[in-house]
Amino acid sequence: MRKTYLAPAKINLCLHVLGRRTDGYHDLAMLMQRISLYDRISLGISSKSGVTTRCAGVDLQPNQENIAARAARALLDVTGVKAGVDIEIDKQIPVAAGLGGGSSNAATVLMGLNEMLDLGFPSAELRKIGVTLGADVPFFIFGRPAWATGIGDVLEEVVGLPRVWYVLVNPGIAVSTAWVYGNLRLTSPPQDLKIPRFYGTPQEAVAVLHNDLESVTIPRHPQIGEVKEALLASGASGALMSGSGSTVFGVFSDQGEALRAAQSPGLKRDWRVFVVQPVEGTGTIGG
């Protein structure tokens, strides 16, 4: 049996770092949204035991597993199911780019295997497994725009986000999330930080744009600042680095504006450019 699923990327419309925890993580407050840029995950089930992974362009060393393979193994271990899982990943989401591609792959494997093996785990149980793999994995299983706190695993749905379009620009820089957080100088957290409320206008989305991690990543990689400036010059009503970088997104009110901006001469030819929109719905996405 084999089935293909789509694993969407995400952006952070806002990211506040509230403090460092004793376990080495940071307490966060983030507004996260899935977008229509996808990796394609093909899952195969067999009677042979073990988990195998293939991903074109990614050379895994002996005894090294990526997060998608670890997700499959974790689910099999929890359930005691004796099945073989073959994972083939067609990567389209840039790696180490602030878009959560690895976490989305892991979440998609958990949800896909839950469906294919008819395990019947509810979303909350899958999220408990997911958080052991990575802080963003529960968000992708949650499947809705969310206000994420804790290490990113405490999720509350956010409704009313406007129907905007985004132009994503990746300058081809791989950024280490661990390095960014390790070099962040914490200041006093914002007071009375509340879940944003929206009523559907693009201006409301632009008003919340904020990322504490820009203060670390942009000085180290000035090209990210150049991308922000280029997107704003192309007509974006707002622009922000997603996650720890290096991808930047610009906000546009309609598809036409976004497509024109994507062709702007101010965007360098060696930058990767994507025109995307928010992803609606929950659960796995058929590929």
Residue 10 falls in the annotated catalytic set: yes
Q: State in Å, rounded, how far the first CA of the chain is from the last one.
A: 15
Query: Which residue among the candidates 39, 136, 153, 212 is catalytic per the annotation?
Result: 136
Residue 136 falls in the annotated catalytic set: yes
- On whether the CB atoms of residues 107 and 140 are closer than 8 A, the answer is yes
Residue 106: φ, ψ to 5°: -60, -45
Closest CA relative to residue 88, chosen from 58, 63, 125, 62: 58
Full DSSP string of 203-229: HHHHHT-EETTHHHHHHH-HHHHHHHH
Closest CA relative to residue 168, chosen from 208, 217, 220, 227: 227
Known catalytic residues are 10, 136
